[in-house]
Amino acid sequence: MTISLSDVSLVVGAETWLSDISLDLGPGAPHVLLGPTTAGKTSLIRILAGLDRPSTGRILANGADVTGKSVRKRNVAIVYQQFINYPSFTVYENIAAPLRRGGLPRKEIDSRIREVAALLHIDALLDRLPAELSGGQQQRTALARALVKDADLLLLDEPLVNLDYKLREELRAELREIFARRPSIVVYATTEPTEALLIGGRTVIMDAGRILQSGATAEVYKRPATVRVGEVFSDPPMNMIAGRVAAGRARLGSSLELPLGRHLAALADGPYIFGARCGHLFIDRRADDDLAIPGVLELAEINGSETFIHARHEETSWVAQEEGVHGLALGQPVTLYINPRHLYAFDDAGRLAAAPSGG
Amino acid sequence: MRIRKSTIGLLIYLTLTLLPIYWMLNMSLRTNADILENFALIPLNITFDNYIKIFTDEAWYSGYLNSIIYVSINTAISLATALPAAYAFSRFRFLGDKHMFFWLLTNRMAPPAVFLLPFFQLYSTFGLIDTHIAVAISHCLFNVPLAVWILEGFMSGVPREIDETAYVDGYSFPRFFVTVFVPMIRTGIGVTAFFCFMFSWVELLLARTLTTTDAKPIAATMTRTVSATGLDWGLLAAAGILTIVPGALVIWFVRNYMAKGFALGRV
């Protein structure tokens, strides 16, 4: 089964929620929709499910037009961000709900429920009501209900957002295993770049109702087509600084100068925007050709075992992601180092001009 | 032991509210002669004659039956029409939906007496006077808007995604509504049924005007038994006590729903 969208747009009132969405989806690898909130991920998922009709454009399933087909007649499964279960049904009945109308024999239904419940580790909870479960267990029930039927299209709209960190990590890894074994088309929406990288497969970057880039996840990560993709597919967002290339040398901002080598050597003279991922900035020198960025510490965010160090250099705020917990005093001078081989270059229209070979 | 001031206040309040009811109970257990001659806080010569009369005389017990019949019909009609209406108001946006919702409520703002004449005229024309259905339908004028309003509050509390999940799972609308949706808002339905019951049970004006003998409610029976020989105090008091009983029973059964309803919805 393949699904393709051609020029789909969605206009609600005076606002455009989706525009010019053209996309081909197939089984084999999960498709990750990555974008900030209000990027249109949920709208797109609802259109794919058949819950909403697009304002213009067509949706083809195996080449046949299914644009106006009711959700009841499509073979889809959906998992929402909120934990949606039938409150008056037990977990068992919840999982059974999608199978009840298929005309399957009772024994077959029972064995499938137990199989999927075991897969999601809720086999001990089958007699409980959803209200008696923890958030993680409720979402596992919702996932089980979506997985129990052989849907052609499995849609997950930020399914792990409302879970705590530990559960999220755990389920994420399990989901990757589950997706790998399913023959259906899987569409997974998320706001988190790390989640997109973990789920893998193919990534579609969305922003403000448009598709910015789509392709194999690793490829999109290594070669973000535009500045905006670099910002979206990076957490914290990629550091960006305007610069100028002249005579084999680049000037970043007004005072940082570096010679152009390796992947940057081919850049023609002119204005550019240079990007650097936070993970490539350090507070100590690691190589002789590192570019030093002197600055003043604005903020040191401790995030688990990492610290995000925000330093201001001239007009630009740089963020470095450092391992370990660093107790730094605000306002103290700090120098960040980045190796030029990690620099991205975008032309003045925001399109990728040069990307590091290592990603 | 020191008794708190609030406890004393509460006791006084309870005494004041319960005294008339107690006095009615007191009178219902005495004969007319006893009531008129002696002042007694506790009835000394208890008699059940008043109650026996009500339960054996058809003119009396049919009043209760009539009331119960039209109240039940009314509650059923109100719920049956308000459930789909409330669902529409909570789930769909249509032209003038907000105005319509408000207009429904305004029906409750007019005093029932305003509708008395048109109802009487219409029901006479259709030969509905003195039937249970007539009273039940006339009470819908007040109960349906109220039911829609209460149920809409409860339904809006149910996430729309549950409806969608049910469609994704292949439920037809009627099956989803009955097996998934209604159980989720059963608290709201309980509360709504209670309010419909109560309004219909205590309403006197319409019920009395639209009936003569066959569907006469108990309240009307009570007011019409003032005879030339004076009031039958004991009998009236017994009828009054029996009128409270159904309401008290219903409150007892829905008391948990009520507490939840006050906390959750729109009561």
Mean pLDDT of A188-203: 88
- Return the number of other C-beta atoms located less than 10 Å from residue B88's C-beta: 15
Round to whole Å and give the CA distance between A176 and A143: 13
State whether A78 and B172 contact (CB < 8 Å): no
Q: Which residue has the higher pLDDT, A327 or A34?
A: A34
What confidence tier does B75 reach under pLDDT thresholds 50, 70, 90?
very high
State whether A84 and B170 contact (CB < 8 Å): no
Is residue A358 scored above 70 in pLDDT?
no
**C-alpha A284: how far from chain center:** 31
The region of weakest confidence among A11-20, A54-63, A161-170, B68-77 is A161-170
Percent share of chain A, pLDDT over 70: 99
* Residue B10 confidence (pLDDT): 92
Q: Which residue has the higher pLDDT, B45 or B136?
A: B136
The region of weakest confidence among A173-187, A326-340, B80-94 is A326-340
* Residue B218 confidence (pLDDT): 85
The bridge status of strand A270-276 relative to strand A281-282 is unpaired
B171 touches chain A (CB under 8 A): yes
Chain B residues whose CB is inside 8 A of the A86 CB are 162, 165-166, 180, 184
Helix axes A165-180, A135-148, angle to 10 degrees: 10
* Residue B224 confidence (pLDDT): 67
Which residues 129-168 of B have a C-beta within 8 angstroms of A?
159, 161-162, 164-168
Round to whole Å and give the CA distance between A39 and A33: 10
Q: Which CATH number fits domain A3-223: 3.90.1150.10, 1.10.10.10, 2.70.98.10, 3.40.50.300?
A: 3.40.50.300
Is residue B129 scored above 80 in pLDDT?
yes
Length reported for chain A: 359
A71 touches chain B (CB under 8 A): yes
Dihedral class, residue A249 (left if φ above 0, else alpha if ψ from -120 to 50, else beta): beta
What confidence tier does B228 reach under pLDDT thresholds 50, 70, 90?
low
* Residue B264 confidence (pLDDT): 60
Is residue A238 scored above 70 in pLDDT?
yes
Residue range A104-121, pLDDT digits in tens = 888 889 999 998 998 888
Q: Containing H/E element for A311?
A: strand A306-313
Mean pLDDT of A50-63: 87
Of A70, A87, A101, the CB nearest to B184: A87
Query: Searching chain B, which residue's CA lies closest to the CA of residue A87?
Result: B184
Round to whole Å and give the CA distance between A13 and B96: 17
State whether B168 and A97 contact (CB < 8 Å): no
B180 touches chain A (CB under 8 A): yes
Query: Searching chain B, which residue's CA lies closest to the CA of residue A96?
Result: B169
Chain B residues whose CB is inside 8 A of the A76 CB are 168
Which residues 127-156 of A have a C-beta within 8 angstroms of B?
145
Fold of B58-264: MetI-like fold (1.10.3720)
List the domain boundaries for chain B: 1-47, 58-264
What confidence tier does B177 reach under pLDDT thresholds 50, 70, 90?
very high
Q: Which residue has the higher pLDDT, A70 or B14?
A: B14
State whether A98 and B170 contact (CB < 8 Å): yes
Those residues whose C-beta lies under 8 Å from the C-beta of residue A257, and which sit 6 or more positions away, are A249, A250, A251
Chain B residues whose CB is inside 8 A of the A71 CB are 164, 167-168
Is residue B262 scored above 70 in pLDDT?
no
Is residue B118 scored above 70 in pLDDT?
yes
Burial of B82 (0-12, 13-18, 19+ CB in 10 A): buried
* Residue A105 confidence (pLDDT): 87
Is residue A255 scored above 70 in pLDDT?
yes
What confidence tier does B263 reach under pLDDT thresholds 50, 70, 90?
low
Is residue A16 scored above 80 in pLDDT?
yes
* Residue A244 confidence (pLDDT): 85
Chain B residues whose CB is inside 8 A of the A82 CB are 159, 161
Q: Return mean pLDDT, chain A.
A: 86
Say which CATH class A239-354 falls into. Answer: mainly beta
What confidence tier does B1 reach under pLDDT thresholds 50, 70, 90?
low
List the domain boundaries for chain A: 3-223, 239-354
Round to whole Å and give the CA distance between A241 and A276: 9
Of B168, B171, B184, the CB nearest to A77: B168
Q: What is the ipTM of this complex?
A: 0.77
Round to whole Å and give the CA distance between A51 and A315: 47
Which residues 184-213 of B have a C-beta within 8 angstroms of A?
184
Mean pLDDT of A77-81: 91
Residue range B15-27, pLDDT digits in tens = 999 999 999 999 8
